[in-house]
Amino acid sequence: MPHLTSTNAKARRHHWRRDLIELAAIFVAVATADLLANLVAHGPDGPVLLCASAAALAATTGFHTWWARRHSHSPPALDHDPALDTDTDADPALTADLGPSLLWRLRTTVRDTPGSLGAVCTALAAHGVDILTLQAHPLAEGTVDEFLLRAPASLAPGGLSRAVTTAGGRDTWVERADTHDLVDTPTRMLNLATRTAMDAAELPLALRQLFGRCSIRSLPADRPGSAPYEEVLEGTVMRLRDPSGGSITVERPYLPFTPTEFARARALVELDARLGVRVPKGRDVLTLPEGNAITIRRAGPEDLAAASAMHGRCSPSTLAQRYHGPVRDTDRYLEHLLSPRFGQTLAVETASGRIVALAHLLWDGDESEVAVLVEDDWQRRGIGVELLRRLTDLAAGAHRDSVYAVTQATNTGMVATMRRLSLPLDYQVEDGTLVITATLSPADAPARTH
């Protein structure tokens, strides 16, 4: 209402001014008419002046009509929107299709001064780069800015880095991204927290997805009752206290962690500690070719006694092929294998509830190890290959490119089982130990060396 009142007042003042001008114009017109009448009545060129005046009035009227038709419907200058222009003379570089593009994650450190981030954004725009997301990590000196970019496929990562460095960025790092990175950070954190809450084995995977390419290692406590590890943030390494009493070490090459990232990691670890040990309760019932029904489910620390009993029913040769060490020491591996902190374990139960097979997917830094143990009386029934298929599915769901199995070079049964996965396999033999690597994503998986 105040705006409308002000506008009406201005309109009233405008009308009074216009009326005064029109009255003055009438007086001028009357005086001019009187002058012309006297000239016509008393001058010898009266008719000529009347004709000239008529022609001038006609020309003025015509010009006014043309001008009014040209400009009466033009929008006010303040209502002009450049975004709606369809000028055919526009810069082709601004409207041309950029063609194929790639997603990149870029991180750089800029000075904490006005305009520093703007200079980087301007440099990226000059190369046709679209900024999809931006995170700022404040430091004691400067700010670490992390971008998710869509850049023309013709622009190499070196060109991105040089553009940002020229604009004032330092310690610039560039890595390929994928569609999973399009989720904004708060949503990603909520998704990772949900996965961690549902399954304790997801914590290492959640940390790895949060920080990209990095290695996660869980270390047990040195001895019962020993002092807990201290939390440390040093450059490219962070160490967190594990709820089980040990530590979780996160390390990545070349890219230092920021205090913001350290706080996010601590939040996930604290959530895991509050929820305690938890394993999904899903079960799948399968019928073997001979008609026996078995149940495949996730196993956890509560299955330690049943798994140890299965060890007692296995032959020494079966245990030796699985654990590659003295048979008498096999039970002491179980507590580690059944802990969700180090991976995921599948158990096979009979109708009576007895465990007859165990399969492990173990997180080994950037890699994943698979291992299967089937009780002697239940071998050669397809249980081993079914378990391995499920382990590779779990690894693919964790965005791992490959899995590997370690066994004795003479274990032809394991070789045959791995071949039934119908995946590309690589074999490495060293000192009687055979390492079989199965590639899950042939286009992206890096070569494995031993």
pLDDT digits (tens, 9 = 90+) for 316-351: 888 888 887 776 777 778 888 888 878 889 999 998
Q: In the sheet where 237-241 sits, what is the strand order?
A: 215-219, 247-251, 237-241, 232-234
The closest alpha carbon to 299, from 390, 225, 180, belongs to 390
Backbone angles phi, psi at 341, to 5 degrees: -65, -25
Contact 406, 435 (CB under 8 A): yes
CA torsion through residues 173, 174, 178, 184, sign: positive
Cα 149 to chain center, whole Å? 11
Look up tokens 């092929």; give the residue.
321
Helix (H) or strand (E) holding 172: strand 170-176
User: Does residue 232 surpass a pLDDT of 70?
Assistant: yes
How far apart CA 224 and CA 146 sit, in angstroms, is: 42
User: Does residue 365 surpass a pLDDT of 90?
Assistant: no
Tell me the pTM. 0.59
211-228: pLDDT as tens digits: 877 888 877 766 555 556
Bridge pairing between strands 367-374 and 143-152? unpaired
Contact 448, 426 (CB under 8 A): yes
How high is the pLDDT of residue 10?
42
Contact 173, 255 (CB under 8 A): yes
- The mean pLDDT value for 44-63 works out to 63
Structural fold of domain 283-439: Aminopeptidase (3.40.630)
Contact 358, 346 (CB under 8 A): yes
- As given in the structure block, the two tokens for residue 70 are 């040209």
Confidence of residue 15 (pLDDT cuts 50, 70, 90): low
Looking at the chain, the domain(s) classified CATH 3.30.70.260 span 101-181
Which superfamily, per CATH, for 101-181?
ACT domain (3.30.70.260)
Largest Cα–Cα distance in the chain?
143
237-277: pLDDT as tens digits: 999 888 767 788 888 887 888 898 899 888 888 888 888 77
- Beta pairing partners, 104: 149, 176
- As given in the structure block, the two tokens for residue 96 are 């041309």
How far apart CA 309 and CA 448 sit, in angstroms, is: 36
User: Does residue 135 surpass a pLDDT of 50?
Assistant: yes
Task: Give me the torsion for CA of 219, 221, 227, 231, rounded to 10°.
Answer: 10
How high is the pLDDT of residue 124?
92
Phi and psi based region of residue 330 (left: phi greater than 0; alpha: psi -120 to 50; beta: remaining) = alpha
Mean pLDDT of all residues belonging to the chain:
77
User: Does residue 380 surpass a pLDDT of 70?
Assistant: yes
The CA radius of gyration of the chain, in Å to the nearest whole number, is 40
Q: Which of 140-144, 190-194, 388-392 has the highest mean pLDDT?
A: 388-392
The closest alpha carbon to 378, from 309, 443, 281, 290, belongs to 290
36-50, 81-95, 220-234, 297-311: which has the minimum mean pLDDT?
A: 81-95
Q: CA 105, 110, 114: angle at the middle one, nearest 5? A: 120
CA torsion through residues 427, 433, 438, 442, sign: negative
* C-alpha pair distances (Å), 98 with each of 103, 179, 285: 14, 19, 52
How far apart CA 124 and CA 109 sit, in angstroms, is: 15
The closest alpha carbon to 262, from 250, 274, 275, 278, belongs to 250
Contact 98, 107 (CB under 8 A): no
How far apart CA 18 and CA 25 sit, in angstroms, is: 10
Counting Cα atoms < 13 Å in the Cβ hemisphere of 101 gives: 18
How high is the pLDDT of residue 58?
65
How far apart CA 317 and CA 409 sit, in angstroms, is: 14
How far apart CA 163 and CA 151 sit, in angstroms, is: 12
How high is the pLDDT of residue 73?
40
Looking at the chain, the domain(s) classified CATH 3.40.630.30 span 283-439
Confidence of residue 151 (pLDDT cuts 50, 70, 90): very high
Confidence of residue 443 (pLDDT cuts 50, 70, 90): very low
67-76, 78-87, 218-227, 370-379: which has the minimum mean pLDDT?
A: 78-87
